[in-house]
Amino acid sequence: MPRLATVERDLLVFSIWAVLGLLGLGFLLEGLTRDAYPLALIGILLVVAGFVAHIIVNQIFGKGFRRGETALGIGAFGALALVFIAAWTAGELSMADYASGLTLFGVLVAGLVAYLATRHGLRGAFSQFHFKPGQDEGNDR
């Protein structure tokens, strides 16, 4: 029976990101294409809604983010940051694009900090990144 719960959780998470994530990406890209900050902001809010829905599903099923989900999120954040920095250094950003990018990264960083602080507490959030030599990785202090 626990395997069925894992499959249900995976389907819910996939469905959330298939709808909210892709719709948010579409609005964000359309806002960047048209230099329309309000459209990009709608996309950012849809991505945030997907993240919140993912956290709710994790809470319902008593799970956290999997390593693959975490790696995908950090990788996507890094790739977006590199593209944003490359466009900024090339001088290709309009003011709406610049504001959209800064809003996206600000919201994502604030969301990460808020998630870690609420999930692990402030001290525990730091411990998620700081491991002492010889410390067991399975320790969730």
Residue 1 has pLDDT above 60, yes or no: no
- Cβ distance 24 to 46 under 8 Å? yes
> By C-alpha distance, which of 103, 96, 49, 61 is closest to 80?
103
Residue 34 has pLDDT above 70, yes or no: yes
- Which pLDDT score is estimated for 130? 62
State mean pLDDT over 4-30. Answer: 94
What is the Cα–Cα distance from 16 to 37, expressed in whole angstroms? 24
Q: Tell me the C-alpha to C-alpha distance, in Å, between residue 118 and each of 3, 40, 65, 127, 130.
A: 28, 28, 14, 14, 18
Least trusted range by pLDDT, from 4-8, 24-28, 46-50: 4-8
pTM of the prediction?
0.80
- Cβ distance 91 to 108 under 8 Å? no
- Cβ distance 36 to 81 under 8 Å? no
State mean pLDDT over 16-25. Answer: 96
The number of beta carbons lying within 10 Å of the beta carbon of residue 28 is 23
- Listed by start position, the domains of the chain span 2-127
Write out pLDDT tens, residues 36-81. 999 999 999 999 999 999 999 999 999 888 989 989 988 999 999 9
- Cβ distance 43 to 31 under 8 Å? yes
State mean pLDDT over 25-34. Answer: 95
Write out pLDDT tens, residues 116-134. 788 777 666 666 666 666 6
What is the Cα–Cα distance from 121 to 77, expressed in whole angstroms? 23
Write out pLDDT tens, residues 79-121. 999 999 999 999 989 999 999 999 999 999 998 888 878 877 7
For 99-123, b/e burial (b = at least 16 CB within 10 A) is ebbeebeebbeeeeeeebeeebeee
